[in-house]
Chains A and B, each alone.
Chain A
Amino acid sequence: MRALIQRLWQGVLVVAIVATATFVLVRLAPGDPFAVALDNSRLTPELRAQWRVAYGLDGTIGTQYLRWIAALLRGDLGWSVSTGQPVVQAIAQAVPYTLVLMGAALLCSFVIGMGLGAWQAARHNRLPDRVIGVVTLFSAALPDFWLALVVLLMGASWFRIFPVGGASDQLLPLSASALTIVADRLAHLVLPVFTLVLLIAAPVARQQRAALLDRLHADWVRTATAKGVAPWHVFRRHAWRTALGPVVTLGGLALPALVGGAVFVEHVFAWPGMGELAARAIAARDYHLVVGCVIVGAVMVVIGSTLADLLVTRLDPRAATADDNRRMAGS
């Protein structure tokens, strides 16, 4: 428990540092917070200066930072110029969509990836292993922007099986039944989730396979086998459990995407999530929105790494250090 609280404090510190760094970085970038609105020959420098004052973006970076901290203490992350709403509201709207998309995609990817990896390890160097190995390399090597577009065009334009992007049919009549609505939502999920699984499952499968092979040939597994323990039991009880380490770490690394989203996939599939929101914020130099998105991402990174550490320790007690063990005992 003490360990967890300590991690929590460290996490808060990490988020604070990241937020401050982002606050500075985004202002260093060449550009103007009203970039989207400014492609207009009638806008004078005076007007821009006036707009800066109106949105609290005037003054030195120090005064802006203090103003921002003061607002933050009231739970206010500022005004998003490019979306025309408070940052908190913009993020609150996007997060549920990203949770659904990435939740489905990560779940499928890890289940499929781990399954494939385990199957490969069990059929080591035989045909299934070879074929899956090539396929996963293929899908991991494909550029995400290219893959997303090809999947969209194939599924929605050439074969017209699935809708062309979006999270739901916005023009469904009010009278639509619950079943229609659920079916509509699911139909919109298929293509982006499929794209993401192609991209994410491959590294999971490869790490799983490598780790399992590594463990299967470790001395103590061999010893167990030699002692006459059933191979399936060895696999499940000894190898599988400890071989989850790298996969769990990958899971921790992937967790931020659960809320951070996937920029290219959301962009191409018009998915109204965090990835697209953050990309749009950076392109528009929407300072407050950028910082808001990065804070949300940093929180998820911290949670992801903490969970991964806890889980790895659970799965393989050897991973716990002496002082970790003491803390665990105390918890």
Chain B
Amino acid sequence: MTAAATGTGDWRLVVQRLRRDPRSVAAAAVLSTVVALVLVGPMLSPYQPFEQLDITHLVHTPPGATHLLGTDAYSRDVLSRVLSGGRVSLAVAVSAVFIESVIGVVWGLTAGLAGGRLDGVMMRCVDAGMSVPRVLLLLALLAAVSQVPVWLLVLVLGATGWFGIARLVRGEARVIRSSDYVLAARALGATPARVALRHVLPHVLGPVLVWCTLAVGQVIVLEAGLSWLGIGVRPPQASWGNIILDGTEFIASAPWVSLAPGFCLVIVVLAVSALGDGLRDALAPRQLPRT
């Protein structure tokens, strides 16, 4: 094990390694383009995302010169909606995944390294948390707040999405904590937090990154999947998830509505995944140099 590159001073090294990895550079370029598009795009797009152009004659217009990605069931321009919906979706995905991975990693590391009774209690909490359907929590929340805003939805998604990560991290941590170098570090008087961050964290990063990559895509969809409860992005505001959801009904007659945001979603997931792989390699240089 070469020194895990997690100390603050080593970040420059990580960035340097990332820069030398063509795959990471490409992924970062794609992601920046997407982010730039959703930030600037709405200002350039020819129509307002909520504008109903002609509700009887321009419904479900196929892609063409005037509407590059066609129109939806309300005669709204799909391109304008995809551009404006990207902001919400990306923001929701990044923040929810960030919250769930932080809670999950901290919880899992603590339980796995502590072991014994604390481990038992913490993991039984995870079992209990996993058992309560998220929909029920959100419905109960509706009793207090009749309309759940997006930021609260992000909090709830993050706070209820970390159980799987915690279990994965805890499983890995249990394996690693009895490795020689962890035992050695402990014997040398390293504090538990230092052991966790410097010696164990780099090793559990693999499963966490895989999980997060997939979670980015799932959260974007989940945001829309909960819209039937009146939670999250409200009509007429667009999100990639709700454009896909609304378009699914017309998958046979107007496939372009759900395919356009679906394509964006997949692109983002692919880029995030490539970047995640690159990041992992950069953090754990003992892997093959070319990974």
Contact = CB atoms under 8 A, between A and B. Distances in A.
Given A10-B120, A150-B251, A298-B128, A282 B286 contact: no
Interface in B232-253: 241, 244-245, 248, 251-252
Interface in B143-177: 143, 146, 164, 167-168, 171-172, 174-175
Given A211-B206, A278-B133, A305 B167 contact: yes
Given A30-B143, A249-B167, A202 B128 contact: no
Interface string B39-81: 0000000000000000000000000000000000000000000
A245 B135 contact: no
A46 interface: no
Given A146-B248, A153-B252, A305-B167, A22 B287 contact: no
A282 B136 contact: yes
Contacts of B265: 141, 143
B10 interface: no
B136 A29 contact: yes
**Dominant secondary structure of chain B at its interface with chain A:** helix
Interface in A283-322: 290, 294, 297-298, 301-302, 305, 308, 312, 316, 318-322
Contacts of B1: 219
B221 interface: yes
Contact of B131 (A138, A143, A150, A297): A297
Nearest to A214: B206
Nearest to B130: A301
A322 B177 CA distance: 11
A290 B290 CA distance: 52
B136 A143 contact: no
B124 to A, nearest CB: 5
Contacts of A109: none
Contacts of A217: 286-288
Contacts of B251: 146, 149-150, 153
Interface in A217-248: 217, 219, 242, 245-246, 248
Nearest to B123: A305
A193 to B, nearest CB: 20
A302 B209 CA distance: 26
B266 interface: yes
B206 A137 contact: no
B262 A316 contact: no
Interface in A119-165: 124-125, 133-134, 137-138, 140-146, 149-150, 153, 157
A253 B167 contact: yes
A157 to B, nearest CB: 8
A42 to B, nearest CB: 27
Interface in A180-223: 202-203, 206-207, 210-211, 213-214, 217, 219
Contact of A25 (B140, B225, B273): B140
A14 B174 CA distance: 22
Interface residues of B, number: 63
Contacts of B120: 10
B174 A321 contact: yes
Contacts, number: 184
A143 B140 contact: no
A90 to B, nearest CB: 17
Interface residues of A, number: 69
Interface in B171-221: 171-172, 174-175, 178-179, 203, 206-207, 209-211, 213-214, 217-218, 221
Given A29-B142, A145-B245, A321-B115, A246 B168 contact: yes
A100 interface: no
B131 A25 contact: no
A292 B242 CA distance: 31
A28 B131 contact: no
A256 interface: yes
Contact of A290 (B131, B136, B164, B211): B136
Contacts of A104: none
Contacts of A328: none
A318 B262 contact: no
B131 A18 contact: yes
Contacts of B213: 137, 206
A26 interface: yes
Interface of B: 1, 115-116, 119-120, 123-124, 126-128, 130-133, 135-137, 139-140, 142-143, 146, 164, 167-168, 171-172, 174-175, 178-179, 203, 206-207, 209-211, 213-214, 217-218, 221, 224-225, 241, 244-245, 248, 251-252, 258, 262, 265-266, 269-270, 273, 280, 286-288, 290-291
Interface of A: 10-11, 13-15, 17-18, 21-22, 25-26, 28-31, 124-125, 133-134, 137-138, 140-146, 149-150, 153, 157, 202-203, 206-207, 210-211, 213-214, 217, 219, 242, 245-246, 248-250, 252-253, 256, 278, 282, 290, 294, 297-298, 301-302, 305, 308, 312, 316, 318-323
9 contacts: A11-B124, A18-B128, A137-B273, A140-B217, A141-B269, A143-B225, A217-B287, A252-B167, A302-B127
Question: Ordered nearest first, which 5 A-B pairs have the shortest CB separation?
Answer: A298-B131, A29-B139, A141-B217, A28-B140, A141-B269
